[in-house]
A and B are shown apart, each in its own frame.
Chain A
Amino acid sequence: MPRRRPGSLLPLEVSILASCLDAGEPGSHGFALAKAIADAGDSRELTATGTMYRALHRLDAAGLVESWWEDPNDAADAGRPRRRSYRITGAGATALAKARAEATGTTAFTRADPGFAT
């Protein structure tokens, strides 16, 4: 994993925040975020499980995303384990905008997002 400057975001974290932003208010669970990132990228490889949830944990701890657990009854009705959903916070949106601004003109980013320089 590349070393980071204090306050900066890793590329995966930028991608997660961007996916959370796309998901909007309802939020999105970990696997859906991994799939969204893969679909937007060139490789279409899903992010490794540990890498994904470690990054989500960091973003959650930093207050850039917020998470909550699905109601157990809803999960039971759907016949699957409970989902933990993530939603971008105001601080996360600001950090994402800043990361995008820094990336513009300096780094080609793989994410197919209009906000990114490619």
Chain B
Amino acid sequence: MNSGPDDRSIRFARWWVHRYTAGLPNHESVSRRAEIDSDLAEHAQCRELDGWTPKQITQERVRRLVGGMAADLGWRHELVTGQCQTRGLVRVSVLSVTSVAAVTLAMFHFVFAAYMLGNISLAEQRYLGGLDNYAEEVGRPVASVIAAFIIASLGVVLLAAGLARPVSPVIANAATIAIAGVAVMFFWLGAWPVALVAVVGSTVDLATRTPNPTPQP
């Protein structure tokens, strides 16, 4: 096999194989890596015998590698979905369920954050005439909005977890589930009760309070 600068293309090829076989069953990933290793060696040897220069060999190696990247990802996808089918599981796939759940929750968070933004906007309009304790009056909605943004940021994490696996196949299912799981745990254990209290409190407060009709000088 070539040496020197051309080794970079071989290293790149091996790196790529490691990436798209990551998280697959051991026998599949080991087998594919060994097969590509063999292919690289056979290719270099064959072209050297044909009298090709190292540069030409490298160019063809890279061309073959890049040209097959989509197929590599397709092969991985076939393998992952095929495993679910051969296991005979009723579930569609862990990936799909995780993604849909995460994206749904994320959308819910964004709507919630938007609602809280509207809430503080209402509060500002209602007290626009002026209050001596304006800061205190809008303080609670502000806290609610901060809480909503925290929740929305968790929504971003969920969204990332939901989209990560389909977009980037090198992320293993376990990692996706872990990300989504941690985000959901924080959401349900922490931010959600706090935000719920905040939004109920601010809504009741705004509904029962009569705005001051006369601006303060």
Q: Is the interface of B mostly helix, strand, loop or mixed?
A: helix
Check if B75 sits within 8 Å of A29, measured CB to CB: no
B7 within 8 A of A: no
Binds A, one of B29-37, B153-161, B178-186: B29-37
Q: Is the interface of A mostly helix, strand, loop or mixed?
A: helix
A48 within 8 A of B: yes
A52 within 8 A of B: yes
**Which residues of B sit under 8 angstroms from A49, Cβ to Cβ?**
13, 36, 39, 64-65, 67-68, 72
B96 within 8 A of A: no
What string of 1s and 0s marks CB contacts (under 8 Å) between A22-35 and chain B?
00000001111001
**Which residues of B sit under 8 angstroms from A30, Cβ to Cβ?**
35, 38-39
Check if A81 sits within 8 Å of B71, measured CB to CB: no
Question: Contacts A50-B69, A50-B75, A54-B71 given: A84-B64 contact, CB under 8 Å?
Answer: no
Binds A, one of B41-49, B100-108, B199-207: B41-49
**Which residues of B sit under 8 angstroms from A84, Cβ to Cβ?**
31, 34-35, 38
Query: Complex formed: what's the CA distance from A32 to B38 in Å?
Result: 11
Shortest Cβ distance from residue A19 to the other chain B in the assembled complex, whole angstroms: 15
Question: Contacts A31-B43, A46-B64 given: A54-B72 contact, CB under 8 Å?
Answer: yes
Check if A31 sits within 8 Å of B39, measured CB to CB: yes
Shortest Cβ distance from residue B28 to the other chain A in the assembled complex, whole angstroms: 9
Check if A48 sits within 8 Å of B31, measured CB to CB: no
Query: Complex formed: what's the CA distance from A22 to B38 in Å?
Result: 21
Question: Contacts A31-B46, A50-B69, A51-B67 given: A80-B38 contact, CB under 8 Å?
Answer: yes
**Which residues of B sit under 8 angstroms from A52, Cβ to Cβ?**
68
Check if A29 sits within 8 Å of B42, measured CB to CB: yes
**Which residues of B sit under 8 angstroms from A100, Cβ to Cβ?**
none
* Chain B residues numbered 40-89 whose CB sits less than 8 Å from any CB in chain A: 41-43, 45-46, 60, 63-72, 74-75, 78-79, 82
